[in-house]
Amino acid sequence: RLTESGLSMVDWHLVKEMKPPRTQQEWEAEFQKYQQFPEFKILNHDMTLTEFKFIWYMEYSHRMWGRVVGLAYILPAAYFWRKGWLSRPMKGCVLALCGLVCFQGLLGWYMVKSGLEEKPDSYDIPRVSQYRLAAHLGSALVLYSASLWTGLSLLLPRHKLPETHQLLRLRQFAHGTTALIFLTALSGAFVAGLDAGLVYNSFPKMGERWIPDDLLAFSPMLRNIFENPTTVQFDHRILGITSVTAVTALYLFSRKIPLPRRTRMAVTSLLAVACMQVGLGISTLLLYVPTPLAATHQSGSLALLSMALWLMSELRRVPK
């Protein structure tokens, strides 16, 4: 999304497209297909074949990596299943994860299709639907979270923590903070989808004001939350600030409770990554969204979610 390459491959074939163009003739044929769609006609009408190859390979590598991820789930799952190494609950979990991988690929193509459609009544640049982009990212985050949670459940022995009132509150606080971090990451899809990071490149104020004039410029009002770049950036800021505040409060509250060393490490790591992520977000905004920094900020959201899931795993109840 950051390299504006997502619409360079204009069709989708599970096996056929795994072989990239090799000859000059094949590349020209691929380029001609791209030229029939809105992004070339409106935005990239002066693009050369060499420039096209760059964005094509960016999208190609993304799709191939998706296929590698799919095989990394499905092949070992089939092998372990055949060997009888999976318990009955784990079989259900594995089936769900493999199904989610396949769904994620289909959702990705559904997303790309939205950017290939002719929109004669629109004056905006061709881009994929921010709703479908958020769905694609959300599905990826669910898949990642479920995979990490399953791995942590299998690899880390549970702590026998005394079920005090304070521990119960800490556990609930950790669950709520994780949900908030997930929602903040998901809101980043709307920021990326609408290029909302390129408006109001100042912090902490947005321009000269705390609340910008065009925050509710669209009608009906609900459209602003998902379609107004100013509102989308404002919401992402609020969610980010709320998330780091919640993480800090969680850390301070945890200091009052005796916790195992590994759990203490999880809480401290969560706070450290949260502070890093805020710094990355502000820097990305102030520097007008340079691709390497923006990509690091996106990766940081996944690292933060990982720390939150690790902490949740540490605080799990021991079954009776």
- Structural domain boundaries in the chain: 1-127, 129-319
Copy the structure tokens of residue 317. Answer: 């109840």
* Sign of the CA dihedral running 278, 133, 124, 225: negative
Copy the structure tokens of residue 123. Answer: 């004056």
Lowest mean pLDDT among 149-163, 182-196, 260-274: 149-163
Total Cβ atoms within 10 A of residue 312: 18
Closest CA to 137 of 302, 297, 278: 302
Q: Give the pLDDT of residue 119.
A: 78
Residue 141 CA to residue 62 CA, distance in Å, equals 16
3-class DSSP state for residue 209? Answer: strand
Angle, to 10 degrees, between the axis of helix 49-83 and the axis of helix 24-35? 100
Find the mean pLDDT for residues 176-189: 97
Copy the structure tokens of residue 302. Answer: 């996944």
Residue 190 CA to residue 224 CA, distance in Å, equals 11
Top pLDDT among 13 and 121 is at: 13
pLDDT digits (tens, 9 = 90+) for 190-248: 999 999 999 999 999 999 999 999 999 999 999 999 999 999 999 999 999 999 999 99
Q: Give the pLDDT of residue 121.
A: 66
Copy the structure tokens of residue 201. Answer: 């490149």
How confident is the prediction for the chain on average, in pLDDT? 93
Lowest mean pLDDT among 152-156, 226-230, 239-243, 266-270: 152-156
Burial status of residue 85 (CB atoms within 10 A of its CB: 0-12, 13-18, 19 or more): exposed
Copy the structure tokens of residue 294. Answer: 């923006």
Cβ atoms of 9 and 60 within 8 Å: the answer is yes
Residue 164 CA to residue 65 CA, distance in Å, equals 45
Is the pLDDT confidence value at 272 over 70?
yes
Is the pLDDT confidence value at 108 over 80?
yes
Model pTM? Answer: 0.91
Find the mean pLDDT for residues 270-290: 97
Cβ atoms of 281 and 240 within 8 Å: the answer is yes
Total Cβ atoms within 10 A of residue 219: 8
Which amino acid makes up residue 2?
A: L
Total Cβ atoms within 10 A of residue 291: 11
Helix ranges, 8-48 (H): 24-35, 38
Which amino acid makes up residue 222?
A: L
